[in-house]
Chains A and B, each alone.
Chain A
Amino acid sequence: MVNAVRRLAAIALTAVLACNPGFEPQYRVTDLRILGVRAEVIVDPADPRGTDLADPNLDDTVRLEALIANPKGQADLSDVDVTWLACAPGQGGALPPCVDPTFLQDPASLVSAGAFPIAKGAKPSDFSLTALPAPARDAFAAALESARRLAFSEPTFQCRIYVEIPIVVVAESATGRRDVALKRVRLVQKPADATFPYDGYLPNRNPVVKDAISATDDGCLGGTSLGAPKALSAGATKTLCAQAASRPDEYFICGADGTRNWTNENLSWQWYVTAGEFKDVGGLGNAEGSHLDFTTPQGTFTLWLILRDGRGGEAWKPFDVTPAP
């Protein structure tokens, strides 16, 4: 019943999404907002796993970074308190507090519910998994073993031998405005447990944003970088195009019978601005896509371009734009 009603709601939602219900669009940032969170494994240059690695193992240290917009406050976020918390897998299937709405609506309750702080501050923080409390390490190790067992009984999980570490980021401004984000970091087997990289799961690498341009043609083949002076003119509508530093990575997924199929990552782009208007972004105002029409506002504004690879990999690039009059 509930499912039927949900399906109905989804249909109604789809219909409404085609219209503009007059909401403040998601892409417009007017106050403190967390726009993105990324994790990157700190690896030794000699490490055969290479750079930009997003998925750690239990011996790694991860650099955590949040993209926080604070248009009403200090640009350097000096007036923003940022807290990072992580949760161990729930015992016997119990829901970890980091993904439990009951606790997320009151982040102050997370610690007492079992979450453990892993970092503090708006700047990038290093989180060493070796520093995890012993019970948490044991729980993650057990969860990895469970994932490995599941792969034996369910072939499609043979490509998913990893455990998600839920990480909560809480940002609070001096004015009392608070925003919360949830990031899932994929914990993979240690090299000693896996024939890297082809056993069980191909660890992911973060993508890299190359640039955002104001297109001079219909195909985004040429244009001016938004980082260049007067790339946009106030009041004009131009097509903005996103550019990645490289083509989507390949990875494999398992079919229902365990057959490994190589596929490309599905890169997705998201745009945020402090002012201006994106066209044709739907009722919720989520500006997505590799190219969008944008009407430039009067005066300086900030634009953030975020790239995600659909596997937890994430990157972004901010642009402070001063349009030509």
Chain B
Amino acid sequence: MGILVAALLSSLLGAEDPPASTPPQGTLTRAPELVEPATAEYPPEAKAAGVEGTVVLSIVIDAEGEVAQAVVTDPGPHPSFAAAALHAVQQFRFRPAEIDGKPAAVEIEYRYQFVLEKAASPPPRAEEPVVLTGRVVERGTRTPVAGATVESQGATADTGPDGRFALRGVAPGDVIVRVVSPEHEPLSVREVVEEGKAREVEYRLTRRRYDPYEAVVRGERRRPEVSVHTLDTEEVRTVPGTQGDVLKVLQNLPGVARAPFGIGLLVVRGSEPNETIVYVDGIPIPLLFHFGAVTAVVNSDVVQGIDFVPGNFGARFGRALGGTVELRTREAKREWHGATQMDVYDGRLEVEGPVGAGSAYAAIRRSWIDAVLAVALPRVAPDAANDLRVAPRYYDYQAKVTHPLLGGMASLFAFGSDDLLTFVRPEDKPGRPSFHLSTAFHRVGASWRRPMGALTNDVVLAVGKDTFDVLRGEAFGVLTGIESVTLRDALGWKLSDSLSLEMGADLYLRRLSYEVYAAPPGSPGAVGDQFQDSPSTVAERATGYWLSPALYAEADWRATPRLRLVAGLRADTERRFSRTRSWLDPRLSAFYSLREGTTLVAGAGLYGSPPQPQLTSPTFGNPDLLSERAVHLSLGVKQELPYQSNLEVTGYYKRLWDLVVRTRLEDDAGQPLRYSNEGRGRIYGVELMLRRELARGLYGWLSWTIERSERINDPSVTPYGWRLFALDQTHVVALIASYRLAGEWILGTRVRVVSGNPYTPPVGSVLDADTGSVRCLPGAPLSQRLPTFFQTDARVDKRWVFDRWMFSAYVDVQNVSNHENAEFRFRNYDCTQTVPVPSIPFFPTIGLRAEW
């Protein structure tokens, strides 16, 4: 069921669904479950011809669990199968899916299998003795199989929701028992039936494909945003080049620029990486990847899905000018399960099972790069081994308990991450290592969701602790500690079928303490550095509170059967070290159903983001900085296409102002201001997403972004004028394709073609006589581009299914053609010669995984 839940999460109906089913919104809290299967009559002509096969149907299940609509998407190998399967499926009855704890309509893909029985006879009478009883479960996952048919000597029995059956009317002796289920391979077993004895058995069926329910995805969860990309974990964890890390897949979606060397910078629609906020179950987290690139700080095993909003996000989110990433963790299964995985970077372990009336899981992962280096470095680089006091080491953990509470569903969860890297040389002074990097965060949160008639309340409360320490000898050090409380409460009120309201609070309280020592800030734009006696540093130490409360309200109004409007208003305030900043953000989204399968979308809204903490430091920054501001405008069309495909084209424009930039201006006392709010930006582009949902083993997408992102500095810093954003990429094209083969093989490829990043060409050089180094003189800022980036990745997955567990392995190869891509230009001492700094070469990785 857990697999089903994961698969269905992104399959909910969109705004353009049939009028009979109310479009759901919110989060899927229970997947539909087939409780009353119906058996199709085997078409005589197919039977006579001995044809077996599978019909694929798309089924809309309404809020009562009835099949509201069923459409054949693959008629199978015989023309008579489709009608028979359709007739049977229309008689199915499901336990309805629940969204936000309430029954709701969903759409799934279903495979109906026709398998010839060797004999047919009237069903046995109930009073005949039970000779065979037991349970049918799925191999590998041990999930009970409901709706399977157990047959022997013409006697049949169907399994219930718990997979149990009781077969009567079989004569004693050696018999062949056949077990048939639509999603599984048929099973034939020889049994010995004894007179007067009921034999207890367990049959294990092999699923045709160990993918999530062969499922889903037609459109997205209904959300207030005009552009949302929803990723289902099971769907995307085999994307090549990501090592199974679902968060890395984000970088292949429209609107996301390619980060150099594949590091985890999320550059969304031309905005700074820190302007896209990542939430885990509604709680913001300070970093996304271990050491910037290795792997995400949240194990993909516990991720149910990801909603990525590249712009025009709803009023429930704020404090960002870019986009949002909502990472939703899954709930644990009610049966005992576990998984362990190892790859070249780390090892991980996850266990889950029932806890009272609820369920729980715990997962932990730790890198072993340090262990490998500890063995290898002394042999290959003894000097480095001596200096590397703590090799790159990271770990993360996630735990979650879900339990019914007060008529709703409560969850208690904890997660965290810890990265450490230290170089200590013999000559280093105590407490001042040559290099030390430590980043850690921990969160403990609780959520409770309960529907109350027309009202729903969703509250999340979390406490957290972050540390961020960077030391570089005696010249530079930052030691930061943050203790935080996060509170989000969303109250939903469905006033009518056409109008619903959501009001909420989004509070973030931080106690921030920091200590910084560093060289005084340099002079922006100047050649060389002032004050070169490096031992001299300035320092700042402070402790204070940082309160960021926000209130928002959002109305979702279906004005006409075709037109839906979502209007929101968000009020943010921020009080940091006795300075207060406030801003108000109105936002509006519109959805217009032009015709069946075609929806026009538009959005407009204001966005605000407080300045980064280091920029408001009295010593190194400017405490009087204002919040940065932006307006997002977007206009697009979503078109459903045949073959489980859909196309989404979105044009967008963003204007940024009050951006924090370096300044040469001075205050009234003649002291440098260092930073001002004089920066501005403009970004415009078009995104295209052509997506084939997972069906018949094939899924993938083509994303293409055409964009231009520009900035302008403070007028006091020369050269003054519009210039490209440092990661402006005119074209970002990614093609993802993955195909499930028989025998549990998965083949995948990723092809990326991206415009080269801009760079500033040198126009000469000057000897800095005080240091002896030669300083290159920058020409027009970011006025030239590196060559176009091209890379092809490939991946092969293989799974072996055993009776009680599964084992899988993958080989993931980045840059299979070993194409040389330039990430930077490396220059000689006076910039008269350059060589490219290449990106990742041919780079294979392997991973092994066991699930039970």
Contact = CB atoms under 8 A, between A and B. Distances in A.
Contacts of B265: 1, 4
A104 B833 CA distance: 20
A21 B770 contact: no
Contacts of B532: 310-312
Contact of B263 (A8, A255, A312): A8
A2 B759 CA distance: 11
Contacts of A102: 718-719
Contacts of A9: 824, 837
A36 B772 contact: yes
B665 interface: yes
Contacts of A182: 527-528, 766-769, 775
B772 A5 contact: no
A105 interface: yes
A324 B829 CA distance: 32
B716 A253 contact: no
A286 B533 contact: no
B670 to A, nearest CB: 5
Contact of A154 (B274, B517, B619, B766): B619
Nearest to A150: B671
A159 B536 contact: yes
A9 B824 CA distance: 7
B726 A5 contact: yes
Interface stretch (A92-100, A121-129, A130-138): A92-100
Given A26-B829, A94-B664, A253 B533 contact: yes
B774 A26 contact: yes
Given A2-B726, A8-B260, A180-B764, A100 B718 contact: yes
Nearest to B525: A95
Contacts of B788: none
A205 interface: no
A16 interface: yes
Nearest to A143: B670
B770 A1 contact: no
Nearest to B830: A26
Contacts of B843: none
B434 to A, nearest CB: 13
Contacts of B824: 8-9, 12-13
Interface string A266-281: 1010100000000000
A26 B715 CA distance: 36
B386 interface: no
A105 B777 contact: yes
Interface in A246-300: 251, 253-256, 263, 266, 268, 270, 283-286, 288
A1 B272 contact: yes
Contact of A99 (B272, B273, B527, B727): B527
Interface string B254-275: 0000001101010100001110
B347 to A, nearest CB: 26
Interface string A1-40: 1101100110011011000011111100000011111100
Given A8-B260, A180-B767, A92 B837 contact: no
A242 B483 CA distance: 53
Contacts of B528: 99, 182, 184
B835 A22 contact: yes
Contacts of B535: 253, 263, 266
A13 B777 CA distance: 18
A154 B726 contact: no
Interface residues of B, number: 69
B534 interface: yes
Contacts of A180: 764-767
A270 B772 contact: yes
A284 B829 contact: yes
B717 to A, nearest CB: 8
B526 A286 contact: no
B533 A311 contact: yes
Given A146-B670, A182-B767, A310-B532, A23 B829 contact: yes
Contacts of A22: 835
A179 B672 CA distance: 32
Contacts of B520: 156-157
Nearest to A90: B664
A149 interface: yes
Interface in B508-535: 517, 520, 523, 525-528, 530-535
Nearest to B533: A311
A306 interface: yes
Nearest to B764: A105
Interface in B740-781: 757, 763-775, 777-779
A12 B835 CA distance: 12
A312 B769 CA distance: 8
A52 B775 CA distance: 27
A125 to B, nearest CB: 15
A101 interface: yes
Q: 4 shortest A-B CB distances, which residue pairs? A: A256-B539, A37-B769, A23-B828, A26-B829
Given A1-B274, A105-B763, 15 more contacts: A5-B726, A8-B261, A8-B823, A12-B261, A23-B833, A34-B767, A37-B769, A38-B769, A95-B664, A180-B764, A184-B530, A256-B537, A286-B773, A286-B829, A311-B533
Interface of B: 260-261, 263, 265, 267, 272-274, 517, 520, 523, 525-528, 530-540, 619, 663-666, 669-673, 716-719, 725-727, 757, 763-775, 777-779, 823-824, 826, 828-830, 833, 835, 837
19 contacts: A8-B823, A8-B824, A90-B664, A93-B666, A99-B523, A146-B670, A146-B671, A149-B671, A179-B767, A180-B766, A181-B768, A181-B769, A253-B536, A284-B828, A284-B829, A285-B829, A286-B773, A308-B770, A308-B771
